[in-house]
Amino acid sequence: MAVISELLRSEADGTISFGDYSLGAKAKLDNFEHQGDIYKVKTFQEITKLERNGMFVYESVPGTSVTSLKATDAGISFTVEGPEDAQITVELASETEYKIIIEGKDAGRMRTNLGGKLSVSVELGDHPVEVQIQKC
- The model's confidence at residue 6, banded by pLDDT at 50, 70 and 90, is confident
Write down the CATH number for the domain with range 8-135.
2.60.220
Sheet strands side by side (includes 75-81): 8-10, 16-18, 65-72, 75-81, 129-135, 97-102, 105-111
- The model's confidence at residue 121, banded by pLDDT at 50, 70 and 90, is very high
DSSP single-letter state for residue 112: -
Indicate the domain borders of the chain: 8-135
> Which residues are within 8 A (CB) of 105 and not within 5 positions of it... i.e. 6 or more apart?
none
Statement: residue 50 has pLDDT above 60: yes
Q: What's the rounded Cα separation, in Å, for the pair 46 and 80?
A: 15
* DSSP bridge partners of 48: 43, 60
Statement: residue 1 has pLDDT above 60: no
pLDDT, tens digit, 9 for 90 and up, residues 105-115: 999 999 999 99
> Which residues are within 8 A (CB) of 131 and not within 5 positions of it... i.e. 6 or more apart?
77, 78, 79, 80, 88, 100, 101, 102, 120, 122
Q: What's the rounded Cα separation, in Å, for the pair 49 and 59?
A: 4
Res 122: pLDDT: 97
- The model's confidence at residue 2, banded by pLDDT at 50, 70 and 90, is low
